[in-house]
Chains A and B, each alone.
Chain A
Amino acid sequence: MKLLDGHGGFLERTIEGMHAGLERAVAAEHSAAGGGLLQRLDARVKVVGLLSLILAAALATRLWVIAAVFALAVVLAVLSRVPLRVLAARAWIGALAFTGAIAVPALFLTPGVALYRLPGLHWTVTAQGLTTASYLLLRVITAATLALLLEFTTPWVQVLKALRVFRIPVVFVAILGMASRYILLLLETAHEMFESRKSRSVGALEGAERRRMAVGSAGVLLSRTFQLSGDVYLAMQARGFRGEVHLLDDFAMKRLDWLALAGFAALAAAAVWAGR
């Protein structure tokens, strides 16, 4: 989004962030409707296959095995036309930032063979600490990439329906469905509120004013979106929704789906076996 005044102030940054959030949601919907490899597969195969790879990465105790699962996820992303820059922006950078904050202390706190001493601080990076941090980072990045692949290659309603096939309770699936719409409504409402606020503001806001506005807006937003999401549920009920998801396209396993399922199972089993 191009900002008119380029101030980069609180309001502008908030609006830009919300706009980016909405754009990401739309981009995921478009990508899920695309014609890549994973998009052609049955949603159940993707849920089972990607989840089994995540489990394999979590169970593996050899770094090269987790790295191989990560490489497989990247290959699947390329074959499914999911841009790598999207994976980098949404999975890798975020995982590095958040998990990095947990992994970095492990570099110094884990006892072991000293590899490097930080000049000035006298903190020592140990080989065991480096291994522990690498495991944590690689596992999180691999799991985030595989989860994002599911989001970018499967329409949300099909994911919900696939969950029901696996006997996940109706209430849980209905709550997930409502939550996704609620998040979008929250973003849209917040976007409108902040744009309206910006249209009535001149110049940069002081720190105290920004905090007051953030607190006030959060309360109003929560109340408005709560009412809106309640109305969405009523609108669903009014058209016959009883908690069960019914779709036009029934799941039907084709040859490609069986092949993919066998492939996922073989790869996950191999990863678990090799990573013992």
Chain B
Amino acid sequence: MMLFETTHLTYRYDRLTAVEDLSISIREGSRVALVGANGSGKSTLLRILDGLYFGQEGAVRFRGEELTEERFADDAFAFSFRRQVGLVFQNADVQLFNPTVFDEVAFGPLQLRWPKSEVRERVHEALERFGIAHLKDRVPHRLSGGEQKRVALASVLVLDPAVLLLDEPTAALDPRSQSQMIDLLVEWGGGAKSVITATHNLADLEDIADRCLVLDGGRVVAEGAPAEILRDRELLERTNLVHAHRHRHRSGEAHSHPHIHSGDVERGD
């Protein structure tokens, strides 16, 4: 059985089509990267897979069951789905709305009605694991960008979801925090979990994914292993994932070559 399956899925924001006639399948246990430039529809697709948005046309299925607004009106289904699927938003600030870091990490387990003793234990474990135990009494939205991202990730991974959806996990982070974030994601679940990452950061692709879906204008325009996608310069240039970078060496000679974006700051699709 497929983990996620979309058939002829279309999602529009008023007159703007973000996802168009999309039919994709994602297997259990796979690590998939949704690669695309700004506005390619990858953030919207993640929200659809998380049951937050519902397409106007087509269907999306999770383990064979169609995700619809009516289905999410049922508490039992909604709790079961939220227990299995976690989404880390691109802008960590929107994910941090509790008075302390401890409350933030405890928010998800409490909403899913876990026993309180277990919540306390799991939150302490998550804080230690993500190196944020010293921040537990701080106000989350007043932390640095890197710290906020860690808290946001901890607040989702404390639920130990079988499926993790990540929207630009390394966006707006300094190089050291980017590297730490990738290490955390690679270690998480020991490779047994399903991870779907929306990114335009090609430098991390081989670390975070086994398979890439390249999106452009809300459609999948290419699919393949990271190495295969990264070799296709024409595809990357056509989808605005690389551009000709012109610069000057110390010798004074100027030249240009394709340039891969790494850790760019991006806000929303």
A contact set with B: CB distance below 8 Å = 26, 29, 32-33, 155-157, 181, 184-185, 188, 228, 231-232, 234-242, 246-248, 250
| Chain B residues within 8 Å of A235, by CB | 87, 89, 94-95, 97
10 contacts across the A-B interface (CB closer than 8 A): A184-B141, A188-B141, A231-B94, A232-B95, A234-B94, A235-B89, A239-B86, A239-B111, A240-B111, A240-B112
Q: B75 contacts A242, CB within 8 Å?
A: yes
Q: B82 contacts A157, CB within 8 Å?
A: no
| Chain A residues within 8 Å of B95, by CB | 232, 235
- One of B1-9, B29-37, B99-107, B216-224 at the interface: B99-107
Alpha-carbon distance between A239 and B82 when the two chains are bound, in angstroms: 6
| Chain B residues within 8 Å of A238, by CB | 50, 52, 82, 86-87, 89
- Name A248's contact: one of B52, B79, B120, B142 (CB within 8 Å): B120
Smallest CB–CB gap between A26 and chain B, Å? 6
Alpha-carbon distance between A261 and B50 when the two chains are bound, in angstroms: 45
- Name B116's contact: one of A29, A33, A181, A248 (CB within 8 Å): A248
| Chain B residues within 8 Å of A29, by CB | 99, 139
| Chain A residues within 8 Å of B89, by CB | 231, 234-235, 238
Q: In chain B, residues 141-181, which have Cβ atoms closer than 8 Å to a Cβ of chain A? A: 141-142, 155-156, 159
B contact set with A: CB distance below 8 Å = 47, 50, 52, 75, 78-79, 82-83, 86-87, 89, 91, 93-95, 97-100, 103, 106-108, 110-113, 116, 119-120, 137, 139, 141-142, 155-156, 159
Alpha-carbon distance between A120 and B95 when the two chains are bound, in angstroms: 62
| Chain B residues within 8 Å of A228, by CB | 91, 93-94
Q: B107 contacts A239, CB within 8 Å?
A: yes
Smallest CB–CB gap between B137 and chain A, Å? 8
Smallest CB–CB gap between A193 and chain B, Å? 14
- Name B47's contact: one of A232, A234, A240 (CB within 8 Å): A234
Alpha-carbon distance between A231 and B91 when the two chains are bound, in angstroms: 9
In the A-B complex, the 9 residue pairs with the closest CB atoms:
A240-B111, A239-B108, A231-B94, A246-B110, A240-B82, A235-B95, A240-B112, A238-B87, A232-B94
- Name B142's contact: one of A26, A157, A247 (CB within 8 Å): A26
| Chain A residues within 8 Å of B139, by CB | 26, 29
- Name B110's contact: one of A33, A232, A247 (CB within 8 Å): A247
- Name A242's contact: one of B86, B93, B107, B111 (CB within 8 Å): B111
A239-B155, A240-B111 known; A248 and B103 CB under 8 Å?
yes
Q: What DSSP secondary structure best describes chain A's contact surface?
A: helix
Alpha-carbon distance between A33 and B137 when the two chains are bound, in angstroms: 10
Alpha-carbon distance between A234 and B112 when the two chains are bound, in angstroms: 16
Smallest CB–CB gap between B33 and chain A, Å? 20
**A178, closest chain B residue (CB):** B97
Alpha-carbon distance between A231 and B46 when the two chains are bound, in angstroms: 13
Smallest CB–CB gap between B210 and chain A, Å? 25
A248-B103, A248-B116, A248-B120 known; A241 and B111 CB under 8 Å?
yes
Alpha-carbon distance between A156 and B89 when the two chains are bound, in angstroms: 24
| Chain A residues within 8 Å of B94, by CB | 228, 231-232, 234-235
Smallest CB–CB gap between B146 and chain A, Å? 18
A235-B89, A235-B94, A240-B82 known; A156 and B103 CB under 8 Å?
no
Given contacts A184-B141, A234-B94, 6 further A-B pairs with CB under 8 A are A29-B139, A228-B93, A231-B91, A239-B86, A247-B110, A248-B106
| Chain A residues within 8 Å of B106, by CB | 248
Q: A156 contacts B99, CB within 8 Å?
A: yes
**A229, closest chain B residue (CB):** B94
**A25, closest chain B residue (CB):** B139
Alpha-carbon distance between A247 and B99 when the two chains are bound, in angstroms: 12
Smallest CB–CB gap between A152 and chain B, Å? 13
Q: B99 contacts A155, CB within 8 Å?
A: yes
Smallest CB–CB gap between B155 and chain A, Å? 7
In this complex, the member of B79, B99, B137 whose beta carbon has the largest number of chain A beta carbons within 10 angstroms is B99
